Amino acid sequence: MIGPSFIEIAQRFADDKFANSYLPKKIREGGTGNWPGNIIMPANNQLSDQQAQDITAYILSFRKMHY
C-alpha cells in the first residue's frame, strides 16, 4: 500500500466543507505528513485545475458508500 484508499480519503473528508477546494490543490501540489506513515505524495502539477477537481469529485463520491 502506498497511501490511503479513495474510501479512506472520502470518509476523512465526508463532513469537510472545504474538501472541494483543498483536495484539488493537494493533488496538484503533493505533500507529506497528512496520513500515518509519512508517505510522500508526489506533485501532479501536469494536471489542470479542472482535472484535479474531477479527480476530487470521483474520490468524494465514495462518501456515499457504506462498508
Report all structural domains of the chain as residue ranges with CATH numbers, in order of start: 6-64 (1.10.760.10)
Q: Give 8's pLDDT tier (boundaries 50, 70, 90).
A: very high
Rounded mean pLDDT, 13-41: 90
C-alpha cell at 60: 468524494
Rounded mean pLDDT, 29-41: 84
| Residue 1 in this model has a pLDDT that exceeds 60 | no
Classify each residue of 30-56 as buried b or exposed e, where b means 16 or more C-beta atoms within 10 Å of its C-beta: eeeeeeeeeeebeeeeeeeeeebbebb
